[in-house]
Structure 1
Amino acid sequence: MEGITDTSGQDTLTDTPGYDSAATERWAAEPDKRPGRTAFQRDRARVLHSSALRRLAGKTQVVTPGTRSHAWDASPRTRLTHSLECAQVGRELGAALGCDPDLVEAACLSHDMGHPPFGHNGEQALNDVAKDCGGFEGNAQSLRLLTRIEPKRFVKDADGDLVSVGLNLTRAALDAATKYPWARGGHPEDPGSPKFGVYEDDLPVFEWIRQGAPAHRKCFEAQVMDWSDDVAYSVHDFEDGLHAGHIDPNMLYAEPERADVFAVALGRYVPEDTDPQELAEALDRLVDQEWWPHGYDGSAVAQARLKDATSQLIGRFCLAAEGATRGTYGSGRLTRYAAELVVPRATRNECAVLKAVADRYVMQRAEQEALRADQRIVVAELAEALVARAPDGLEPQFRAAFDAARDDRARKRVVVDQIANLTDASARALHARLRVRPV
């Protein structure tokens, strides 16, 4: 994004309480085609109408799209349905705390856009592929997609060439979608962490987004998005596991099963030094609730009870965060860097236990590991074939970027961008086409 000359864009209308003109500024100035909307309503509309959001319908959340365990089972959630559910949770929680609801919803809808086919498994495989060009991280890819790859807005650079600025969202919207506001190796507490939010290539726009922001600190809206993400996937992955018959609520009373769940949670979902007794108490608080899906058997009545339980859990987790945050900061409007989201430790432990239950009984099934091994092979072989044959196999958008790339590192990044854009099905189809050997 270097060399773009017009970086002073602001929406004509900046009447959103709690947000100044810097928050509603866009990288490239552009008039609103429908005057009367707020800057964040425009952001939400752009994300909602993007092809990147639609592609999430074909990307794995936990269970591969198109698979069903029983004839009566509802189709498993995809990255798209998860993003929509996260957005609903975030919009209401953000509004209750004084955030602009359209801003939080836009961040929630876009936070997973950069995730590749095959879920986190594909992310790890693509990180191996990209080790010589800066690595791969789904959140950094989301920023790259929002600011460069998604074709919505083009401007001229210093040389007069047209370059993409992606969806050209406001500074506040891009900041709210940034879960990890640091580059690779820049985690403030763990430099070895694989989590980061920006590639080296994208540092200019990242630095523009972060103007005036405290180093490494997530804005308040990003914290709301992050907690809404945790709430949505912990509750809904648990629900999907019950629907599919992989989770039996009765197992959560057996000590050996509980110990397995707590072992999964430690280090992955809670700090390693957490006392397992805390997790046991968290699980007990949940299973002791009247609305807990005791004896789930898949009947219509049981499904209705389960749906009520998911609503109760979401409300429980969000109200706990809302109450603790209001108890710390009072009743005013909380936006940008004026506050920190406060989530009680006990609530985080309850959420973590749900994540660990789904992890233990859904993601760790033997057939899932066999499927993940096959998916890693698809990603690795697809990358090998594209690198060897490029620009053959690249879509026109990425073919042009490949031809314009300045060196092998940049060309490798284009190949990674192409793979990340694919759905599960299109990744397999392209892999099959490129790996066919002549007779």
Structure 2
Amino acid sequence: MESISAPHADLSHWPGEDPRQKRLVPEELTASQQVERSPEFRADLERIRFSPYYSRLSAVTQVISQTGAGLAIHNRLTHSLKVAAVARSIAVTLQADDGPAGQRIAQLGGCHPVVVQSAAAAHDLGHPPFGHLGERTLDRLAREHLGLAEGFEGNAQSFRILTRLDEYDREGAGLNLTAAVRAAVLKYPWLRQEGLGRDGGPETPRGLSPSPDGAGARKFSVYSLDAPAMEDARAAYPMISKHQQTVECAVMDIADDIAYSLHDLDDFYRAGLLNQAAISAEFRAWRQERNELAELESADLVLNSRTPGYALELLWRRLARKDSWIASSEAFLAAVDKVFEEVVDGLLLAPFDGSRDAERALATFTARWIEHLQTSVEIHTDPPPRCGHVSLNQAAWHEVSVLKFLHERFILERADLTVYQRGQARLLERLIRGFAAWLDDPADVRRAPRRLLDLVDLAMEDYLRLARTVPELLDTEDEAVLRQRARGRGIIDYVASLTDAQAISLDHLLAGSSERLWDAGQGL
């Protein structure tokens, strides 16, 4: 039996305590600390904010990099700060509700504003260099080159950081956060393999749909190595069903969607990347021709998706197919009209010129939309599989979908961004292959970065512990195979923890082309 100080120890036997405030490892506090840190959630928020993983988010790309578009562009840290602000506002409102909705929330475990803030601060800790491009690239390399069937996922990496990689003041407990905060970061509370065999239809929880390459769930919040820590956190919420978010997690998820839909729009508008004429043509064509577009085959829409109106029709069909529990043609049309009026024929009509008038107009626009969306939530006693106990109402849900469509269609598909991202993907591949070759070199492995070696050792400890305690989560107990997997997971943990600039510097170092050896090598 594992000792109580082991990672992911089972503390479910603790008597007489609020299970939501249990930590992975018990902590003894002085009387003054008990007063200052009651409830325990405030300490969690401080630990996350003081984490070096949190600090590094200031130098990690959100969607487009600051080096390419200027300091006004959001990074992962500014995004996280704004998610936390939106989430706290929603949580305060829900917590103050003394009616039936508030009573139901209390029955489901509550909605503490500090728990929600903590989860929002932590939700992007695991994102690697270069934004979502980095996440997709590391996932592919982990599976194809390092032999890790679970690959890489930013949400799962965040949970691994909180419960294993980062440490507060004791070995083997991560930041030793309360069960409430650990549960609140589990947006997708399942393992990747749980998505195998799913059809991705309306009865499949959002994110548990199969990934395009058939590797398992499209999104997931936990690697097998860290599954015991997930079960420990979820045990504090027996009233929450399997694969369902806690209330606090659902609020954080909503806030993430709101921030993503508006603050990225803010970025692209400031950078002059949103072509008002092209966007207007898309919206006008769909509104005028939606009856004719509805008659076309989906294959024809995909083949001609750059024809004005076609991409919006594809968006509507995707929403109707996957989210029939809330999708409505009338609500979608109303959302398109609202976004067209306020964004396309409103904000975007005047290009951002950096003037005080432009700044005021943008600030007013953003504040108005945030206020509207964060007050557009509703409570569900028995939510459908693709919905949380707290969600945006039907109108706001469609509006966020259309807002996100703007940058998905008109930014992420830009050829110039694609060229830049392909270069970043090759850089990450060079790092992964370079470190893998280094660790396979018996003559030089001892000179590999100390932190990399530590992370490989840590992963090996985790694999061996899993083989002893939950062997059904592994397809083999062969120590040589587990050692190879630990090597791969350690490399992924190391590269994923880099900032954009550190990744670029390391690439130059491994290529022998850096002219600033000592500066570039700091922190390895």
Aligned equivalents of 2:428 and 2:330: distance in 1? 40
User: What are the Cα deviations for residues 100-137 of structure 1, in whole angstroms up to 9, with x where unaligned?
Assistant: 11110000000010111111111111011111222111
Three-state SS of the structure 2 residue aligned to 1:185 is: helix
Alignment of 1:150 with 2:170, yes or no, is no
Query: For the structure 1 residues 370 and 40, does the alpha-carbon distance in structure 2 shift closer, same or farther, using more than 3 Å as the test?
Result: same
- 2:244 aligned to which of 214, 217, 233: 217
Percent of aligned pairs sharing the same letter? 30
* Preserved contact between residue 320 and residue 328 of structure 2 (Cα < 8 Å): no
User: What are the Cα deviations for residues 224-261 of structure 1, in whole angstroms up to 9, with x where unaligned?
Assistant: 00000000010011111111111144544323586255
Aligned equivalents of 1:361 and 1:151: distance in 2? 41
Does 390-399 or 278-287 show the bigger shift? Answer: 390-399
Query: For the structure 1 residues 263 and 388, does the alpha-carbon distance in structure 2 shift closer, same or farther, using more than 3 Å as the test?
Result: farther
* Preserved contact between residue 122 and residue 379 of structure 1 (Cα < 8 Å): yes
Shift of 1:65: 2.5
Aligned to 1:52: 53
Three-state SS of the structure 1 residue aligned to 2:492 is: helix
Shift of 1:387: 0.6
Alignment of 1:430 with 2:478, yes or no, is no
Matched residue count: 405
* Preserved contact between residue 270 and residue 349 of structure 1 (Cα < 8 Å): no
User: What are the Cα deviations for residues 166-193 of structure 1, in whole angstroms up to 9, with x where unaligned?
Assistant: 1110000000011100001224723543
Alignment of 1:234-253 (within 5 A): 234-249=261-276, 251-253=278-280
Shift of 1:67: 2.1
Which letter does structure 1 place at the counterpart of 2:112?
Answer: D
Query: For the structure 1 residues 176 and 268, does the alpha-carbon distance in structure 2 shift closer, same or farther, using more than 3 Å as the test?
Result: farther
Aligned to 2:179: 171
Give unpaired runs (5+ residues) of structure 2.
96-110, 199-203, 211-215, 286-306, 382-387, 440-444, 461-481, 515-524
Shift of 1:381: 1.3
Alignment of 1:349-368 (within 5 A): 349-368=398-417
Shift of 1:279: 3.6
Aligned to 2:259: 232
Aligned equivalents of 1:142 and 1:267: distance in 2? 32
Q: Over aligned residues, Cα RMSD in angstroms?
A: 2.9
* Preserved contact between residue 264 and residue 360 of structure 1 (Cα < 8 Å): no
Three-state SS of the structure 1 residue aligned to 2:227 is: helix
* Preserved contact between residue 150 and residue 167 of structure 1 (Cα < 8 Å): yes
Three-state SS of the structure 1 residue aligned to 2:19 is: coil
* Preserved contact between residue 269 and residue 356 of structure 1 (Cα < 8 Å): no
- 2:341 aligned to which of 284, 288, 293: 288
User: What are the Cα deviations for residues 327-351 of structure 1, in whole angstroms up to 9, with x where unaligned?
Assistant: x67xxxxxxxxx8103222211110
Shift of 1:427: 0.8
User: What are the Cα deviations for residues 395-434 of structure 1, in whole angstroms up to 9, with x where unaligned?
Assistant: 4233123246361111110000001101111111112211
Aligned to 2:135: 123
- 1:138 aligned to which of 151, 154, 162: 154
Three-state SS of the structure 1 residue aligned to 2:92 is: helix
Query: For the structure 1 residues 87 and 394, does the alpha-carbon distance in structure 2 shift closer, same or farther, using more than 3 Å as the test?
Result: farther
- 1:93 aligned to which of 66, 90, 101: 90
Aligned equivalents of 2:328 and 2:162: distance in 1? 40
- 2:25 aligned to which of 11, 28, 49: 28
- 2:391 aligned to which of 334, 342, 356: 342
Give TM-score, length-normalised by structure 2: 0.71
Shift of 1:49: 0.7
Aligned equivalents of 2:117 and 2:508: distance in 1? 37
Give unpaired runs (5+ residues) of structure 1.
15-19, 156-163, 330-338
Aligned equivalents of 1:244 and 1:270: distance in 2? 33
Alignment of 1:83 with 2:80, yes or no, is yes
* Preserved contact between residue 382 and residue 431 of structure 1 (Cα < 8 Å): yes
* Preserved contact between residue 128 and residue 496 of structure 2 (Cα < 8 Å): yes
Alignment of 1:61 with 2:62, yes or no, is yes
Does 105-114 or 424-433 show the bigger shift? Answer: 424-433
Greater helix content: 2
- Report the structure number with the largest CA radius of gyration: 2
Query: For the structure 1 residues 345 and 418, does the alpha-carbon distance in structure 2 shift closer, same or farther, using more than 3 Å as the test?
Result: same
Give TM-score, length-normalised by structure 1: 0.84
Three-state SS of the structure 2 residue aligned to 1:152 is: coil
* Preserved contact between residue 316 and residue 332 of structure 2 (Cα < 8 Å): no
Shift of 1:270: 7.1
Aligned equivalents of 1:92 and 1:394: distance in 2? 46
Does 421-430 or 27-36 show the bigger shift? Answer: 27-36
Alignment of 1:313 with 2:369, yes or no, is yes
Query: For the structure 1 residues 81 and 437, does the alpha-carbon distance in structure 2 shift closer, same or farther, using more than 3 Å as the test?
Result: closer
Three-state SS of the structure 2 residue aligned to 1:342 is: strand
Query: For the structure 1 residues 83 and 356, does the alpha-carbon distance in structure 2 shift closer, same or farther, using more than 3 Å as the test?
Result: same
* Preserved contact between residue 84 and residue 117 of structure 2 (Cα < 8 Å): yes
Three-state SS of the structure 1 residue aligned to 2:56 is: helix
Aligned to 2:106: none
Three-state SS of the structure 1 residue aligned to 2:124 is: coil
Aligned equivalents of 2:123 and 2:157: distance in 1? 10
Alignment of 1:416 with 2:492, yes or no, is yes
Aligned equivalents of 2:429 and 2:320: distance in 1? 31
Aligned to 1:208: 232
Query: For the structure 1 residues 104 and 395, does the alpha-carbon distance in structure 2 shift closer, same or farther, using more than 3 Å as the test?
Result: farther
- 1:386 aligned to which of 435, 445, 457: 435
Does 356-365 or 294-303 show the bigger shift? Answer: 294-303
- 2:121 aligned to which of 109, 114, 139: 109
Does 283-292 or 179-188 show the bigger shift? Answer: 283-292
Aligned equivalents of 1:31 and 1:268: distance in 2? 52
Aligned equivalents of 2:430 and 2:317: distance in 1? 32
Shift of 1:31: 2.8
Which letter does structure 2 place at the counterpart of 1:311?
Answer: A
Query: For the structure 1 residues 84 and 260, does the alpha-carbon distance in structure 2 shift closer, same or farther, using more than 3 Å as the test?
Result: farther
Three-state SS of the structure 2 residue aligned to 1:113 is: coil
Aligned to 1:259: 309
